[in-house]
Amino acid sequence: MLNTNADTIASVLAVALSKHFDVRLIFCFEKKGVLMDVNDQGSVITHLPKKRYDELLPQGIFADGILPKLENAYAAIQTGVKEVLIGEAKDLLKNTGQVTEGTLITL
């Protein structure tokens, strides 16, 4: 029996593909994006560079399921993935195919 994390699997696949393609990794979950306050759906952090993440992490802003997503996002970007977006599936790609909401993860 294996206990796997889908975020880790997606990140590893994205990194492998980034050797041949420009890759955008999208993590979908039930929130509109990474939140400053887990109880406030309107507190989406629209852009979360690594430096800001490192500043907020010790404050306990991020917890539970978002931590593996963020850790895998930064690992993917550091090893070749062009960008990572985190948010609710129905909001991330509208009919235009362009990103409209969520949290953009960058170095």
Residue-wise pLDDT for 63-102, tens only, equals 888 999 999 999 999 999 999 999 988 876 665 555 568 9
The answer to whether the pTM exceeds 0.85 is yes
Q: Is residue 19 part of a domain?
A: yes
Q: Which residues are bridge partners to 14 per DSSP?
A: none
What tokens were used for 89? 């599936």
Mean pLDDT (the chain) is 91
1 falls within a domain: no
- Read off the CATH number of the domain in which 95 is found: 3.40.1160.10
**Helices 66-78 + 6-18 axis angle, to 10:** 10
Nearest to 69 by CA among 102, 40, 39: 102
Residue numbers of the domain that contains 25? 6-106
Identify the pLDDT of residue 71: 96
Given a cut of 60, whether residue 24 has pLDDT beyond it is yes
Q: How many domains does the chain fold into?
A: 1
Q: What percent of the chain has pLDDT over 70?
A: 91
